[in-house]
Chain A
Amino acid sequence: MAKISEDDVRHVALLSRLYFTDEEIRQFTKDLNSIFSYVEKLRELDTEAVEPTSHSLKLSNVIREDIITSPLPVDEALANAPEAETGYFRVPKIIQEY
């Protein structure tokens, strides 16, 4: 199996908006590789007869009726915002749509 490179780690860090020193990148690369080889070991198990699982809980259809509950007062909704203005969250300027 392909090993995780430092570039892979930098890429994932960028996608998660995390910023690391070169030292940290080296450390994470090492850690991630050892985690991956452990997961690789699990592949040795024969799972032929096992259904793919997305959740560990044996639950399905946890749903609610379409009933309105009262929303937060706008002051509370904005309480943790570093910046707010006339009922809006205020963020650094976004020029392009994604």
Chain B
Amino acid sequence: MTYESVIGLEVHTELATASKVFCGCPTTFGVPPNTQVCPICIGMPGVLPVLNKKALEYSIRTALTLNCDINEVTLFDRKNYYYPDLPKNYQISQNYRYLGVNGLLEIVVDGRSKRVGINNVHLEEDAGKLLHPSTASADYSLVDLNRTGLPLLEIVTEPDMRGIKEAQIFMMTLKNLLQYIEVSDCKMEEGSLRFEVNVSLRPQGQQAYGTKVEIKNLNSIKTALKAIEYEMRRQSRVLDEGNQVIQETRLWDDVEMVTRAMRSKERAHDYRYFPEPDLVEVRISKEWQEEIRRHLPELQDAKKRRFIEQYDLPEYDAQVLTSSKALANYYEECLRVYNVPKAISNWIMTEVLRELNERELEPDEFSVTPVHLASMVKMIDSGTISGKIGKTVFAEMVETGKMPDLIVQEKGLVQISDEKELAGIVAKVVAENPGPVSEFKKGRQKAIGFLVGQVMKLTKGKANPQLVNSLLREQLK
């Protein structure tokens, strides 16, 4: 039978604050274990959490951007469960009055706009990290609490996505948006953006939802999509065989590439939420909301319009350059060094994007910084190097990260614009190629291309092409 998949997501994103959500510990990624902890996040008795204002503002900013209604009074609750990555044996989260509700995010699928409902947006604290020694005989696990207490924003969608493509576009659109509003770096390899997925199937055309399965442990968009795909196959097999899908939580196994049911005892969630007595209510006034709305960073559409107007770019260029905030920043940093909007845009849309895609890098991780690129384009415009040599220099910058002037100097790539020097080479080429020369003289304009090519060959591409052209025409008169 043909089934339609119904997909909902829970997205967790770590907010980019300097300190943790309820204590002043730093939030740097990748530092030695248990060096960013204090009595509050480590769960010592008698300590008091105090809410980080910036974490709250980032949460409000996100909720507003996702078109949520903001609850004027929002509360924190305790979610109780035992696990070694949770030193207090409860997670401070929100359950009874979320920060934001009833939102929506618009995505574009095959050129058509679609609205995905946002059930709620709420703020909580992240848990720590467990390490399992690889030796089979080891009878222990190791706990690092550096991540414990990082501000974690949970965004819960309605089950509004149909099929894997919509889920993918939603995840990418949301990630892009979170980066645009500067609340999270969304570095999936550092766990700043994680997913839980609800998937159910129903026969094509049926209104009622099928039984849903929740999949946890998805640390990237790629993994989430693989898990959805696997789960759709698994559930359709179950249904085709005339069986029922069991409502359960399954874990994604990234090695075997399958989802697995958890043991029944672990499934029995009983979080016994109750209001967190250590944190008083948070009031978010209309004025505060408006204040935050006024200071929203520029979003993609506005940036695109500005690029078209301010830099006189074609719409296509503006669309590509604003496809991510990081790329748009890269572009504008280039312009601060050398303000030639269209030339820089051309380089970014071709060479830069090709390298970034091939190497799976973000613009800020790229060895060719805006200063590198802008300086190189400037060298082309000033005639120091030709556009062709520019590509050689670019490739060298990608590999070595050296500045373009250093590369040009080291490799002797300076364009030859010395008329005397070039005239000698041109004369040599004319003397050695009587065939094409006579062709040209007979009126075949195209023959000159071959002769220019020969000059370029002799000068290893360093001759100034315009100059070569005019010297040739002069000598062939």
Residues of A within 8 A of B (CB): 11, 15, 17, 54-55, 57, 59-69, 71-72, 74, 77-78, 83, 85-98
Contacts and interface: CB of A to CB of B under 8 A. Distances in A.
Contacts of B82: 15, 17
B303 interface: no
Given A63-B56, A97-B251, A68 B26 contact: yes
Contacts of A88: 33-34, 131, 142-144
Given A15-B270, A71-B35, A74-B35, 5 more contacts: A68-B25, A69-B38, A93-B141, A96-B262, A97-B251
Interface of B is mostly: loop
Contact of B280 (A60, A85, A98): A60
A43 B282 CA distance: 28
A68 B26 CA distance: 6
8 contacts: A15-B270, A57-B280, A66-B18, A78-B34, A89-B84, A90-B143, A93-B138, A96-B251
Given A66-B53, A88-B131, A72 B24 contact: no
B281 A60 contact: yes
Given A68-B19, A77-B34, A55 B132 contact: no
A89 B33 CA distance: 9
Interface string B237-280: 00000000000000100000000001100100010100101011
A17 to B, nearest CB: 6
Nearest to A11: B270
B33 A66 contact: no
A60 B52 CA distance: 14
Interface of A is mostly: loop
A60 B283 contact: yes
How many of chain B's residues touch chain A, expressed as a range?
35 or more
A91 B53 contact: no
Given A64-B51, A77-B42, A97-B216, A89 B139 contact: no
Contacts of B39: 72
B142 A89 contact: yes
Nearest to B56: A63
A61 B142 CA distance: 37
A82 to B, nearest CB: 11
B179 interface: no
Interface in B34-82: 34-39, 42, 50-56, 73, 75, 80-82
Nearest to A91: B84
A36 to B, nearest CB: 16
Given A61-B282, A63-B52, A63-B56, A54 B275 contact: yes
B282 A83 contact: no
B142 A62 contact: no
B138 A55 contact: no
A21 B20 CA distance: 41
Contact of A87 (B33, B75, B84, B262): B33
B33 A63 contact: no
B321 interface: no
Contacts of B140: 83, 85, 90-93
